[in-house]
Amino acid sequence: MEIPYIEYFGLTEKPFSLTPDPLFYFESKSHKEALDHLTFFLDQREGFALLYGDVGTGKTTLSRIFLNSLDASLYNTALILNPIMNKLNFLKEVLKEFSIENDKLTQKKGLDLLKDFLLEEHIKGKRSILIIDEAQLIQNNLFEFIRILSNIETDKEKILHIIFFAQPEIVARLQGDNLKYLSQRITVTYELKPLDLEEVGLYINFRLFKAGSKAFPQFRDGAVKLIHRASKGYPRLINVICDRCILLLYSQSKNVVTKNLAETALKEQNITLSKEKGAGLSKIVFIAALSASACALLMLFWWEFIILYKTLFSNP
């Protein structure tokens, strides 16, 4: 479908699309820390890693960035995007991702094939990584099966490294009795956090630049602040709001997103602003501080006045 504002702003593509496109990857502090943790996990060569974060923080985007960052001559990679399936289908998916023949298999045959592949690759000096996205959806019996896969090892080390990307509810699940055996094996955990105010501004400009923007559309500071407040720094929500903002700009034949325009965009999407944390409190503190300073100043004047009075009118 032709997007009306692309030509109007001279863009090459949609700047705030909802697909996790690595081309638009913006490295926030938290995204960078997450990648550092995953690299550390690979160096450690044991256990599982868990990367979790709220809806729309960028987990799927990050999984792609991480996989792309791995040297293909050193790593085999497999990415399972949707783990709602039974054990056999899961195994077939893993085999398919590693480009291993996976037709008409029994579980036993599949496991043998995977084991042979992992050992051969290990001997060649190649490591194998399995990433499972949306891991909060994995059924308990599939978790158990995944643990079995992770036990494929040589005398010295594990040869399949498994990383879970998941929404935060996985943390509570892993603490339950049923999955304790697994949580004890998770050696690296990281929570992906939303963007801060400064990052939201940089993120918006970065995506515009990647979409071919020369100067416009432009987002004023007031608009960025509002978008940060409304989205709480979650990239997906930032995209939704920004896309609406530039659609509005286009419909009004303008090219600068002001705070007012951003407000209209939020209203149109029924996005309400949570009260600024501490805003009321800081106002009270400010007024109290101002009154206290005024009182102190008055008392000082009064004191000076009494001393002066005494000096002038007291008997020698």
Ligand X SMILES: Nc1ncnc2c1ncn2[C@@H]1O[C@H](COP(=O)(O)OP(=O)(O)OP(=O)(O)O)[C@@H](O)[C@H]1O
Residues that bind ligand X (CB under 6 A): 18-21, 24-26, 28, 31, 53, 55-61, 167, 235-236, 239
Q: Which two tokens stand for residue 40?
A: 């550390």
What is the distance, to the nearest Å, from the Cα of residue 213 to the centroid of all Cα atoms in its chain?
24
39 touches Mg ion by CB under 5 A: no
Residue reference for tokens 């515009």:
208
Q: Environment class of residue 173 by beta-carbon count within 10 Å: exposed (0-12), middle (13-18) or buried (19+)? A: middle
Cβ at position 83, least distance to Mg ion in Å: 12
Shorter beta-carbon distance to ligand X: residue 15 or 110: 15
Shorter beta-carbon distance to ligand X: residue 137 or 186: 137
Cβ at position 76, least distance to ligand X in Å: 23
Q: Which partner, ligand X, Mg ion, none, binds residue 64 by CB below 5 to 8 Å per kind?
A: none
Q: Which partner, Mg ion, ligand X, none, binds residue 136 by CB below 5 to 8 Å per kind?
A: none
List the interface residues with Mg ion, window 40-79 (CB under 5 A): 59-60
Cβ at position 105, least distance to Mg ion in Å: 28
Q: Classify residue 158 by its DSSP letter.
A: B
Site string for Mg ion, 273-312 (x = CB under 5 A): ----------------------------------------
Q: Which partner, Mg ion, ligand X, none, binds residue 127 by CB below 5 to 8 Å per kind?
A: none
> Rounded CA gap, 52 and 189, in Å?
8
| Alpha helices per DSSP H over the chain | 4-8, 29-44, 59-69, 87-97, 107-123, 140-150, 169-175, 180-183, 197-210, 221-231, 235-251, 259-268, 279-313
Shorter beta-carbon distance to ligand X: residue 56 or 110: 56
Shorter beta-carbon distance to ligand X: residue 11 or 118: 11
Cβ at position 98, least distance to ligand X in Å: 23
> Rounded CA gap, 143 and 149, in Å?
10
Shorter beta-carbon distance to ligand X: residue 39 or 107: 39
Sorted by sequence, the CB contacts under 8 Å of residue 186 that are 6+ apart come out as 47, 48, 49, 50, 174
What is the distance, to the nearest Å, from the Cα of residue 42 to the centroid of all Cα atoms in its chain?
20
Q: Which partner, Mg ion, ligand X, none, binds residue 196 by CB below 5 to 8 Å per kind?
A: none
Q: Which partner, Mg ion, ligand X, none, binds residue 56 by CB below 5 to 8 Å per kind?
A: ligand X
> Rounded CA gap, 316 and 294, in Å?
35
Please report, as a single letter, which amino acid is at residue 116. D
- Cβ contact 271:243 at 8 Å: no
Shorter beta-carbon distance to Mg ion: residue 59 or 207: 59
Q: Which partner, ligand X, Mg ion, none, binds residue 21 by CB below 5 to 8 Å per kind?
A: ligand X
Which spans of this chain sit near Mg ion (rule: CB under 5 A)? Answer: 59-60
